Amino acid sequence: MAESQLKQQTNENKPNRMKSGLNWLWSDYSVVIAFIIIFIAASIMSSRFLDIGNLMNILMQVSIIGIIALGMTVIMLSGGIDLSVGSVLALVGVVTVTALNATGSVVLAVISALVAGPLIGLLNGLMIAKGRIAAFIATLGMMAGARSIALYIADGGSISGEVQEFSLISNSELGIVDYPIIIFLAMTAFVYILMHNTRFGRYVYAIGSNEKSARLSAINVEKMKLAIYSLGGLMVSVAAIIETSRLNSISSSSSGQLYELDAIAAVIIGGTRMTGGRGKIIGTFFGVLILGILNNMMNLMNVSPHLQGFVKGLIIIIAVVFQKRE
């Protein structure tokens, strides 16, 4: 009798175990599953999609947003947000070209960029951590301020570099792979290791999960926020170098426009919670690729570029709805 009851209970538990297994698979790998589905669908819908040139073009197009999204992921994992990344990219680009023309040195121009971005990120961190200003408000103010300074320095227009060697950064290849793709992959590996194999990463997750508990665990939350937003600024610097060196120029008015939307979309699609504490760098990587494939497909199908923003906004809403359901 007892044996038959045990068998019946085991049979009843099988569907529950299967359901929990499927839930775990979807929860941890939903973005990868979505990427595979979209990739297959794109392959079927357009014969040109699988051309190696087209695939390299997708990676090239997402490299800048991808690098920015890596920094945004760390910020959002900590429970923050940065709306200033697009304007900061334009300002760093202007600073880079100005330094390039003033010194004639590509190395000094790159160093100027790598210093300017983290400094602006540090200023964001100071307003948030020390000034107790909400991240949304602080970075919104920085978005307006950085764009205004860029416009002032460039007199409202574009600045072109006078050293042609600078353009080699974005226009050189290693085999069939462009340098910006290599830089994007390298930055992804760097941030992945930082977040998953160091104390810094553990502290970021702890702050995002429960800031009060993180303080009680002797984590210096203020210093961590300074480091987090400085890292975000560093990622913007790298992206600005690529953006500026493509055409050896930068537009103070249009460069970086709505990059914050693309970066946030990639992070949310990748599974990072808006409230922080949960998400993965690899998720953001696939989120960036999904956006790149969708943009590429809309171009191949001659969908109006004016509708692409609508599609991104819709994807963000759907992704957040799925997160809430989980």
CATH of 63-325, one of 3.30.300, 3.90.350, 1.10.3470, 3.40.30: 1.10.3470
Q: Rounded to an integer, what distance in angstroms lies between the CA atom of residue 147 and that of residue 48? A: 38
Amino acid, res. 165? E
Note the pLDDT tens digit of each residue in 28-65.
678 888 889 889 988 998 888 889 999 999 999 999 99
State whether residue 131 is helix, strand or coil: coil
Residue with tokens 């301020």: 145
Question: What are the φ/ψ torsions at residue 276 (nearest 5 degrees)?
Answer: 90, 170
pLDDT at 33: 86
Q: Is 138 exposed, middle or buried (0-12, 13-18, 19+ CB in 10 A)?
A: buried
Note the pLDDT tens digit of each residue in 202-211.
999 999 999 9
pLDDT at 308: 75
Q: Where are the domains of the chain?
A: 63-325
Q: pTM, whole model, 2 decimals?
A: 0.89
Note the pLDDT tens digit of each residue in 257-309.
989 999 999 999 898 988 888 899 999 999 999 999 988 888 888 777 778 77
Query: Buried b vs exposed e over 44-54: b needs ≥16 C-beta within 10 Å?
Result: eebeebeeeee
State whether residue 247 is helix, strand or coil: helix
Give residues with Cβ within 8 angstroms of 84, minimum separation 6: 120, 124, 139, 140, 142, 143, 146, 260
Residue, of 315 and 184, whose pLDDT is higher: 184
pLDDT at 3: 55
How would residue 163 be classed by pLDDT, with cut points 50, 70 and 90? very high
- Checking if the pLDDT of 9 tops 80, the result is no
Per the CB < 8 A criterion, the answer to whether 229 and 80 are in contact is yes
pLDDT at 25: 47
Cα dihedral: 45, 51, 55, 57 (round 10): -110
Q: Rounded to an integer, what distance in angstroms lies between the CA atom of residue 18 and that of residue 11? A: 11
- Supply 302's token pair: 């001659």
pLDDT at 4: 59
pLDDT at 142: 96
Query: Buried b vs exposed e over 221-240: b needs ≥16 C-beta within 10 Å?
Result: beebbbbbbbbbbbbbbbbb
pLDDT at 81: 96
Average pLDDT of every residue of the chain: 88
Per the CB < 8 A criterion, the answer to whether 294 and 311 are in contact is yes
Residue, of 80 and 2, whose pLDDT is higher: 80
- Checking if the pLDDT of 96 tops 70, the result is yes
Q: Is the dihedral of CA 224, 227, 230, 231 positive or negative?
A: negative
